[in-house]
Amino acid sequence: MDPAELAIDPDELRRLAECAKEPIRTPGVIQSHGTLLGVDAATQVVVVASENARSWLGRPFAEIGNPELQGAVRSGSAIDPVRVVWEGSPTDAIVHRVDDLTIVELEALPHDEYARTAVVTAINRLTAVASVAELRQQAAAEIRRVTGFDRVMIYHFHEDGHGEVVADDSVPELESLLGHHFPSSDIPPQARDLYVTKVGRAIASTSSPTIPLLAISDELRTVDLSNAELRGVSPYHLQYMRNMGQASTFSLSLVEDGRLVGMITCAHRTERRLPVLLRRALEVLAAQITMQFASMREIARLRHLVEVRERRTELLAPLYASDDIPSALLRGPRTVLDLVPADGVLVHIGGTSRVAGDVPPLDDMTRVLELLSGEAFVSEGLEADRPDISALLPSTAGLLVVPLAGPDDTLVFFRGEVAREIFWLGDQSAGNRPSQLSPRTSFSTWKSTVRGRSLPWGTVIQDALELGHELETVLHRRAQAQLAELAMRDALTGLHNRRYLAERLAAGSPVDLDGRALLFVDLDDFKSVNDVHGHDVGDVVILEVARRLIAHSRERDVVVRLGGDEFVVLLDVVGGEDVHAIADRMVAAIAAPIETKVATLIVTASCGIVVAEPGASRVGLLEEADAAMYRAKRAGRNRVSS
């Protein structure tokens, strides 16, 4: 059975609903190895008592004759435990407050003694462990060494509620349960909520009868025992334990940010109890293990975050210079599949689609995107989640769709089926239960094969969303840069325009060490070309002049069209260069015949030169070059002047 299917199985949901009805916080009974007294905080009279202490009901607690315990009861708290003699035997007394009651639990000491120092040794050993898997297994071994239980398991709870045994240390004759899964109803939500409240939980015997609580009023019989050590156990759970061959258990909660993420369970085939002080020490150990788990995961998360950001930067940086964004995302040294592992991907941006890897036909993918109407989508079991989409993509089990800001722009990732075997803690079918609500009778390994599902997307979902967000930012900035560049370009020739030149010359810094020169080029009598042959021919002439200026300029020079028939060539580096020779070549090139559809034309140009020495101001250079150009015209045109 697939864990995802079990989570919505009707029988499983009924079991969870039935479990929710059990008064596990107020069972009205305690376990048989102790005694409970409830003392009214105002009157210090015993108003609740377990049946084995019925003689105390209604009596002043002061009659117990133990000053230390009396003080603890008056304050409502104590350092665990207070050692007392109860009915002639040494006993641990545990005190806590519930509303207006002070609960006193008297727990008979176990026959065996335990050294709490062994827990300190275990903590020291575990702090040196470097990985989550190793920490889990070594923690199970250390706790079994300290407690002497037959088996210690560590559970991990998955997002859908079901659990998995992620560590198992046991005596040789017991079969390992490592890697086995179990349904949510084995530890239902209300029990998990309780385990957040109470970290340590001991069940001393699965066979001894419980002891009912007595009270001087009916409402007190349902006193909240959430934090009680002796709280009675659900009959369902006791039967569950017996079916597993367990006579005693002790469990520890692994709680992160108020959420139960896992448990440590110690189990024994015969009755076995741990004293309060050892249980408290083990609760400290469990907190230490939880903190180590959290820090390891956080370190791994941060390392992954850094790695993903580096890969994302490598992927997106080249896009600013690319004319084909989809291809750049799929064909470069770093691709989107390096950030979002999948069997195939479709990139659709700006009306262009590109694919990589194993993908369905484009028409089918297009139809799927129409069905999703531009919404984000993720599935690891497409056939179960969206049969209509699965019918269009029969070879796809996992689908991840990340819409982008542009119309119809999207990233689509595909994963095929990955069949896997799941080992369950007992047959999950109805034949392994006397009734739908009963615990399983057998916990022998039950294997099922999960089909129709891909590998889980997991953290890849967030990686894909962040990639989509940053890709949108790149596309937006790239569009802005293109608009800014267009504002600096002449529409006809594609050369830089007057605005560009003005910004270059308005820079506050002086001319650099290599100097600078401006060539101001103006066509001679260009108006007659437009008047005689029309503006279309005039445009052809302007385009050819622009081409010739570029062809006869240096690679580092910039050719600018100021407008009409005026051009400027900006020479940023002129040290050691013959600027007049460059200008002469350009004027001569312009004077060569120009072929048009209507005629062969000869156009000449006048060129003014200004050279700025290193350190000189940039301001006024254009005006000086313009004046030099007019000197060339007055001198007879088709020449250069400075």
> What is residue 465's predicted lDDT score, i.e. its pLDDT?
93
> What is residue 556's predicted lDDT score, i.e. its pLDDT?
83
> What is residue 13's predicted lDDT score, i.e. its pLDDT?
61
How far is the C-alpha of 93 from the C-alpha of 107, rounded, in Å? Answer: 6
Cβ proximity of 232 and 27 under 8 Å = yes
Q: 192 vs 185, 232, 282, CA distance in Å?
A: 11, 16, 19
What one-character DSSP code corresponds to residue 582? Answer: H
Global pTM value: 0.72
Cβ proximity of 344 and 355 under 8 Å = yes
Structure tokens that stand for 178 in this block: 């490592």
Provide the pairing of β-strand 151-157 with 101-108.
unpaired
How far is the C-alpha of 409 from the C-alpha of 582, rounded, in Å? Answer: 49
Three-point CA angle 26, 211, 47, nearest 5°:
65
Cβ proximity of 447 and 421 under 8 Å = yes
In 3D space, the residue among 47, 60, 52, 48 whose CA is nearest the CA of residue 35 turns out to be: 52
Lowest mean pLDDT of 48-57, 207-216, 233-242, 243-252, name the range. 233-242
Cβ proximity of 199 and 253 under 8 Å = yes
Percent of the chain with pLDDT over 70: 92
How far is the C-alpha of 196 from the C-alpha of 428, rounded, in Å? Answer: 27
**pLDDT digits 0-9 by tens, 402-435:** 999 888 899 999 999 998 888 888 767 777 676 6
How far is the C-alpha of 567 from the C-alpha of 548, rounded, in Å? Answer: 12
**What value does the mean pLDDT take over residues 190-200?**
91
How far is the C-alpha of 526 from the C-alpha of 565, rounded, in Å? Answer: 7
pLDDT band per the 50, 70, 90 thresholds, residue 448? confident
Burial of residue 118 (CB within 10 Å: 0-12, 13-18, 19+) is: middle
Provide the pairing of β-strand 211-215 with 566-571.
unpaired
3-state SS assignment for residue 548: helix
Cβ proximity of 561 and 546 under 8 Å = yes
Strand ranges across the sheet with 352-357: 352-357, 344-349, 410-415, 398-403, 377-379
Structure tokens that stand for 290 in this block: 């939880």
In 3D space, the residue among 189, 160, 114 whose CA is nearest the CA of residue 3 turns out to be: 160
